[in-house]
Structure 1
Amino acid sequence: MVPKADHSSSTIWIPLGQVSLFLGIQITKNKIGYFLDQSHYAQQLLLKSNLAECSTAPTPAIPSKANPENSDPPFSDPKLYHKLAGSLQYLSVTRPDIAFATNRICQHMHAPTEQHFKSLKRLLRYIKGTLHYGLPLTLGNLQLSTYTDADWASDNTDWKSISGFYTFLGDNLVSWTVKKQATVARSSTEAKYRALAAATIEVIWLRRLAKELQIPQHSPTKIYCDNTSAISLANNPVFHARTKHIEIDYHFIRQHIDSSSITVHHVSSGKQIVDVLTKPLPTNLFEQLRHKLTIWPSNAHFAGGS
C-alpha cells in the first residue's frame, strides 16, 4: 500500500495488490502458499556470459575436493570473473543449492585462473538446467530447527574446514550459510564444534527476530549435528583439558543450552542434509538432498510439492 496525500483529512492508503516481484525475486502465489525464484535473473546471467544455449550439468560442482594447481594460467578477463561471481552470490538468495559452489568460486576473486573460470562455467551450466528452481513457502508449524555440519580440512591449499548450516521454520527453509573457517581445526570434532557454535549464533538471532514478528519460540530450538563427540562436548558440563583451544565456543553453546534456548541432537550422516553446503556431491545424492531442502522446480510446487 502507498499513502495518498489528502489535505482535508488524514492520510488515505491505496492498496497495491499482491506482490509479484521484489528486488529481482519473482513471487508466485497459489492455494498452498508462495514460490520464490529468480529465473528471469538467472536467464539474464546466462545471456551475459554467452551461455544461454549451453549444455546443462547435473550438479553445481564436480564431485572432487581437489583444488587447481598453482601453475594453472591466470584467467584472461578477471573483471568478467568478478562480475559473474557477484551475480551468482545474489542468485543464491533463492538457490541454496548453489551456495557451496558459489562460495568456492568467490574465494578466488583476487586471482582467478582458467580452471577457476571452468568451475564457474560448470555452475552456470547447472543453473541452465535448473532455471525454474526456487523455494516454496507453505503454511504449517512455526517451530525453528537447524542442521549443521563441517567438512574438516577440505581445502588442500590451506587445510581449513568449511562450515555450513540450514535453518527451517516449520517445513520452510529460511536461512543458510556456507563459510570457510578462519583458522585450521586440529580435528573433525573441533571443526564441527565451530560449525555448531556458528549455527547457535544464527539460531539465537532468529529466535529474537521470530519473537519480534509475533512468532515466539516456546520450546528450545533443536540443532542437529552428525558428530557424537561434538554433541557430547556441548552437553557435558565438565570441560576437557584436551579441548581448551575451543573454550570460548564451548562456554557460548553451554550458556544457551542451560538457558533452554537450544538443544543439540544427533542426526545420522545419511540424513545430514547440510552436505550440500560443505562439499561437492555425486549426482544421485545431490538430487536427493536438494529435494529434502525443498529446492524444487516451480511446476512441482504448484502440483503440491511432489
Structure 2
Amino acid sequence: MITRTKTGSLKPTARFNLLHTTSSQSDPTSYNEANKMLEWRKAMAAEFLALQKQETWQLVPAPINKQILGCKWTFRTKLHADGSIARYKARLVALGNQQEYGLDYVETFSPVAKLPTIRVLFTVALYHDWKIHQLDVENAFLHGDIQETVYMRQPKGFEDPANPHHVCLLHKAIYGLKQALRQWYTTFCNHLLKLGFLPSQADPSLLILHKGNTTLFLLVYVDDILLTGNDEGAISSFLQQLNSTFALKHLGSAHHFLGIRIQHNQDKYFLSQETYAASIIHQANLENCNPTANPSCTKLPAAINSSSSTMTDPSVYRQITGALQYLTITRPDIAFAVNTLSQHMHSPQDSHFFLLKRLLRYIKGTIAYGLPITKSDLRLTTYSDADWASDPITRKSTSGYCTFLGRTLLSWTVKKQTTVSRSSTESEYRALTAATADTLWLKRLLADFFISHDFPVDLHCDNTSAIALAQNPVYHARTKHIEIDHRFLREHISSGHLRLIPIKTEDQIADIFTKPLSTPRFKFLRDKLTIVSDPFA
C-alpha cells in the first residue's frame, strides 16, 4: 500500500504548548513589516508631516558624481514607567555611516550632562524646596541647520509621485547624520544665551540664569531637559518664550528621566531602574533564578560547570555586561562586579560566565533597590581606597572612591590603575590623587549652583603611610617616580582645599569599590552607601 508517509506528503503534527505565555509583540524592524499595522502607519505619517513642517529638505534632481545617502525607518514603542504603552514612535533616520569626513561633515562632538551633575541638581532643588520640571523637545535635531551640502534618497513609502527619481537636499540636521547632535546643541544653547543664560564652567550642559533675585538652572541631555529655580513665575514665562521657537512638551514634575524612575515626596527623591533591570534579567532568561545576597564571591568554586549555564555565548556576555554598565547609574553596589566583568569582554572564560550569572541573581533579589536623595546639609565628604596588585595577571591595583553631599551619594568610581604600583602606599596615593581631582570638580560645580564651600573637604583614607607622604615634605627613593601626583595632592592640602583624615579600615566605605567582600561586610557597606529598597512601595 502506498501511504502518504512513503510519498512524503504527510504533514508534521502541530503540537501546541498550552503552558507557554505569549510575549508582547516586538517592534517592527523594516518598513514592509510596519506598513501592515495601522498604528505604525499613523506614526510614520506623523513623522513625515513633522519633517515637512520643519522644511527639512528640498526635492532636487539627482546630482552627478555626488554622494547620496540612504535612509530608513526605525520603530520603537515608548512605555510609561509602569510598563504600559505610551505611544508608537517612528523615526526617519539618514544612513550617516555613508558620510565622508571633510565632505559631508566636519565636527561631531556635542557635550551631554554628566551624571553627577544630575544628582547635584536634584540635591540642591530638594534642599531649597524647588520644583523640577521635565521638558522634551519634539524632533529636536530638525531645529539645527547644516552648513554642508548633503543629499538623501526619498523615504520609502513617501516618495513624491510627480518626481519619484528626485533626491532630498537637506537643510536640517536630520536624525542619523554625524553632525546632527552638535548642530542641535549649538542651536539650542545659542538661543538660551540670547535669553540671558550662561553655561557652567564645570559642566557646559548646565546653563544658569541669574538676574536680580531670580535664579534658574537648566540641564540638557540631548533633547531631554530638566529645569528648576526659585521663581515659578519666571519659569512659566521662560517656557512660553522657549515654546515659541521649539516644539516643547512640558511633562510636569520630573518622574522618568533617561530611563531612571524618579519618585518624590516632601523630603526625599528616590532614583531607580527597576524596569531596566528586569529587562536585563529577561534578556538573560533568568526570570526564575534563585536570588543571592552578594554580587561577587571572595573565592570561586573548584569546579565550574558551564554547560548548565544559560549564558555561554561570548556575544551574549558582552551584551549583558554592557547593559549592566548603565544600571550602575543608580546601583553603585554592583559597580565593582560590573567593572570586573567588563575587563574580560574580549575573551570571557567559564569563571566570568559564573560571575555574571551570580551578579544577575543578586540583581533579581534586589531589583527594587535604588539611590535615595535626601535633604541634609551641603557639605562634601570623600572616601578613597585602593586594593594593591589585585589583578593576578597584570598586578595592577584597583582604585575606588566616592563623594557624598551631606547624606546623598553624588559620585563614585571603580577603575584599574594604569600603571603597576610598587607598594600599597603608592597605590593608595594614586587613588587619593584621582579622588582629589574628582572632589575639586564637584566643588567647582557646587560653586555654579551658588553654594560656597570655603572650608576644606574631608578626604578619608585608611592608609597611614599615604597620609604621611601627602602631608610631609619628604621625598623618599621609592616615591620619586610619583612626583607629579605628589605635588598635586600636597598643593591642595597646603592651600586648605582638602583635609586628609585617617579612618579605620572597617569604616572605609570605598572598600566596596575595590574588592569582593563577604556578605555581612558587603551589606554593611551597602547600607553606608545608602542603597536601599524602594521606600514608596
Q: Normalising to structure 1: TM-score of the pair?
A: 0.90
Whether 2:278 is the aligned partner of 1:43: answer: yes
CA separation of 1:13 and 1:119: change in aligned 2, threshold 3 A: closer
Give the distance between the partners of 1:163 and 1:292, measured in 2 at CA: 19
Q: Which of 445, 463, 470 is equivalent to 1:209?
A: 445
Name the structure 1 match of 2:260.
25
Q: Which of 296, 313, 319 is equivalent to 1:83?
A: 319
Name the structure 1 match of 2:17.
none
Give the distance between the partners of 1:262 and 1:171, measured in 2 at CA: 19
AA at the equivalent of 2:267: I
Whether 2:486 is the aligned partner of 1:247: answer: no
Q: Please report how far the alpha carbon of residue 111 of structure 1 lies from its aligned counterpart in structure 2 after TM superposition.
A: 0.8
Give the distance between the partners of 2:295 and 2:248, measured in 1 at CA: 46
Whether 2:348 is the aligned partner of 1:112: answer: yes
- Indicate the SS of the match to 1:250: helix
Q: Residue 45 of structure 1 contacts residue 84 of structure 1 at CA under 8 Å; is this kept in 2?
A: yes
CA separation of 1:115 and 1:6: change in aligned 2, threshold 3 A: closer
- Indicate the SS of the match to 2:253: coil
Q: Please report how far the alpha carbon of residue 31 of structure 1 lies from its aligned counterpart in structure 2 after TM superposition.
A: 2.4
- Indicate the SS of the match to 1:16: strand
Give the distance between the partners of 1:223 and 1:154, measured in 2 at CA: 23
Instruction: State the Cα deviation string for residues 55-83 of structure 1 (Å, max 9, x = none).
Output: 1111010123x7999xx99x852211111
Give the distance between the partners of 1:67 and 1:253, measured in 2 at CA: 42
AA at the equivalent of 1:209: L
Q: Please report how far the alpha carbon of residue 119 of structure 1 lies from its aligned counterpart in structure 2 after TM superposition.
A: 0.7
CA separation of 1:147 and 1:6: change in aligned 2, threshold 3 A: closer
Give the distance between the partners of 2:478 and 2:242, measured in 1 at CA: 70
Moved more, 15-24 or 290-299: 15-24
Q: Residue 68 of structure 1 contacts residue 115 of structure 1 at CA under 8 Å; is this kept in 2?
A: no
- Indicate the SS of the match to 2:269: strand
Q: Residue 221 of structure 1 contacts residue 261 of structure 1 at CA under 8 Å; is this kept in 2?
A: yes
Name the structure 1 match of 2:188.
none
Q: Residue 150 of structure 1 contacts residue 278 of structure 1 at CA under 8 Å; is this kept in 2?
A: yes
Q: Please report how far the alpha carbon of residue 106 of structure 1 lies from its aligned counterpart in structure 2 after TM superposition.
A: 0.1
Moved more, 12-21 or 225-234: 12-21
Give the distance between the partners of 1:135 and 1:231, measured in 2 at CA: 31
Whether 2:408 is the aligned partner of 1:172: answer: yes
Q: Normalising to structure 2: TM-score of the pair?
A: 0.52
Whether 2:284 is the aligned partner of 1:58: answer: no
Q: Residue 4 of structure 1 contacts residue 12 of structure 1 at CA under 8 Å; is this kept in 2?
A: no
Q: Residue 267 of structure 2 contacts residue 374 of structure 2 at CA under 8 Å; is this kept in 1?
A: yes
Q: Which of 69, 74, 92 is equivalent to 2:328?
A: 92
CA separation of 1:58 and 1:258: change in aligned 2, threshold 3 A: same
- Indicate the SS of the match to 1:274: helix
Name the structure 1 match of 2:514.
278
Q: CA RMSD in A?
A: 2.5
CA separation of 1:26 and 1:12: change in aligned 2, threshold 3 A: closer
Larger Rg: 2
Q: Please report how far the alpha carbon of residue 152 of structure 1 lies from its aligned counterpart in structure 2 after TM superposition.
A: 0.6
AA at the equivalent of 1:57: T
Give the distance between the partners of 1:24 and 1:13, measured in 2 at CA: 19
Q: Please report how far the alpha carbon of residue 155 of structure 1 lies from its aligned counterpart in structure 2 after TM superposition.
A: 1.2
Which structure has more helix as a fraction of its residues? Answer: 1
Give the distance between the partners of 2:381 and 2:424, measured in 1 at CA: 23
Q: Please report how far the alpha carbon of residue 255 of structure 1 lies from its aligned counterpart in structure 2 after TM superposition.
A: 1.2
Q: Please report how far the alpha carbon of residue 137 of structure 1 lies from its aligned counterpart in structure 2 after TM superposition.
A: 0.5
Instruction: State the Cα deviation string for residues 247-279 of structure 1 (Å, max 9, x = none).
Output: 111001011112211111100111011111001
AA at the equivalent of 1:116: H
Q: Please report how far the alpha carbon of residue 11 of structure 1 lies from its aligned counterpart in structure 2 after TM superposition.
A: 9.8
Give the distance between the partners of 2:249 and 2:390, measured in 1 at CA: 54
Q: Please report how far the alpha carbon of residue 110 of structure 1 lies from its aligned counterpart in structure 2 after TM superposition.
A: 0.9
AA at the equivalent of 1:224: H
AA at the equivalent of 1:201: A
Give the distance between the partners of 1:230 and 1:196, measured in 2 at CA: 8
AA at the equivalent of 2:338: T
Whether 2:495 is the aligned partner of 1:259: answer: yes
Q: Please report how far the alpha carbon of residue 114 of structure 1 lies from its aligned counterpart in structure 2 after TM superposition.
A: 2.1
Alignment: residue pair count:
296
Could you tell me which runs of 5 or more consecutive residues in structure 2 were left unpaired when the two chains were aligned: 1-132, 136-238
CA separation of 1:120 and 1:11: change in aligned 2, threshold 3 A: closer
Q: Please report how far the alpha carbon of residue 13 of structure 1 lies from its aligned counterpart in structure 2 after TM superposition.
A: 8.8
Q: Please report how far the alpha carbon of residue 239 of structure 1 lies from its aligned counterpart in structure 2 after TM superposition.
A: 2.4
CA separation of 1:128 and 1:237: change in aligned 2, threshold 3 A: same
Name the structure 2 match of 1:150.
386
AA at the equivalent of 1:247: E
Name the structure 2 match of 1:160.
396
Whether 2:374 is the aligned partner of 1:138: answer: yes
Q: Please report how far the alpha carbon of residue 236 of structure 1 lies from its aligned counterpart in structure 2 after TM superposition.
A: 0.7
CA separation of 1:166 and 1:30: change in aligned 2, threshold 3 A: same
Name the structure 1 match of 2:198.
none
Q: Please report how far the alpha carbon of residue 6 of structure 1 lies from its aligned counterpart in structure 2 after TM superposition.
A: 9.9
AA at the equivalent of 1:103: N
Could you tell me which runs of 5 or more consecutive residues in structure 1 were left unpaired when the two chains were aligned: none
Give the distance between the partners of 1:216 and 1:83, measured in 2 at CA: 43
Q: Residue 312 of structure 2 contacts residue 353 of structure 2 at CA under 8 Å; is this kept in 1?
A: no
Q: Please report how far the alpha carbon of residue 284 of structure 1 lies from its aligned counterpart in structure 2 after TM superposition.
A: 0.7
Alignment of 1:163-202 (within 5 A): 163-202=399-438
Name the structure 1 match of 2:464.
228
AA at the equivalent of 1:38: Q
CA separation of 1:241 and 1:47: change in aligned 2, threshold 3 A: same
Q: Please report how far the alpha carbon of residue 14 of structure 1 lies from its aligned counterpart in structure 2 after TM superposition.
A: 7.8
CA separation of 1:31 and 1:50: change in aligned 2, threshold 3 A: same
